[in-house]
Amino acid sequence: MSNSFALNAEVRELAGKGASRRLRKEGKVPAIIYGGAKNRKPTSLTLEARELVKALKNEAFFSHVLTLNIGGKEEQAILMDIQRHPAKGHPLHADFERVTKSSTVHKRVPLHFINEEQCKAVKLQGGKIQHSAIDVDITCKVSDLPEFIEVDMAKIEMGTVLHLSNLVLPKGVELVELNKGPDHDAPVVSVVKPAGIIDDADADDAEEATEE
């Protein structure tokens, strides 16, 4: 992972909705960091809204090990959740989990669908790509955490449905859903035939039905 992210934070003493509203009016975002050693307690934080908004514009920020500078002390963490304003979209609260190099993390990472325009079912047969998922739930060591998982569509044929089990995963990465059993092998993407397009097999069936 080539990107590096760092945010400045302060320990937040006051809690509650009223205190959080005052912080937001001051251009700050309330947050919390938890996890780490068993005896470590969650710590309430305050982030600079400008820094957080800028970082959130980069997709890699959501699946990357971050550095939080908390009162002059650095903490390694990953973003676990971001709450946004339902209408305006700006961040209202952020949750971070402390990590170390040996930590095993459970995280959602985005899917990158590549070569869709070169997909032969689309390019030669007029097929349409339908996405059933845009991200997946993974578990891995922090050192193996990917920013995204690629799904190559170049050779996908008409009528093909790719499931979770068809994804090519980076080394050390497992899909949480597949660990639950084969019944959780959900579809990810498919190539379907648009209405009105008749292939050779359908044409032959239609011709035989007419002759009967």
By C-alpha distance, which of 129, 147, 138, 148 is closest to 187? 129
* Res 140 pLDDT > 90: yes
The tens digit of pLDDT for each residue in 74-129 reads: 999 999 999 999 999 999 999 999 998 889 999 999 999 999 999 989 988 999 99
Distance between CA atoms of 123 and 158, rounded to whole angstroms?
Answer: 11
Q: What integer is the mean pLDDT of 34-57?
A: 90
pTM above 0.95, yes or no: no
User: CATH class for domain 5-100?
Assistant: mainly beta
Q: Could you tell me which CATH number the domain at 106-192 has? A: 2.170.120.20
**What are the start and end residues of each CATH 2.170.120.20 domain in the chain?**
106-192
The confidence band for 175, taking pLDDT boundaries of 50, 70 and 90, is very high
120: left (phi over 0), alpha (psi -120 to 50) or beta: alpha
pLDDT at 180: 95
pLDDT at 209: 45
Q: What DSSP string describes 90-118?
A: -EEEEEEEE--TT-EEEEEEEEEEE-TTT
**What are the start and end residues of each CATH 2.40.240.10 domain in the chain?**
5-100
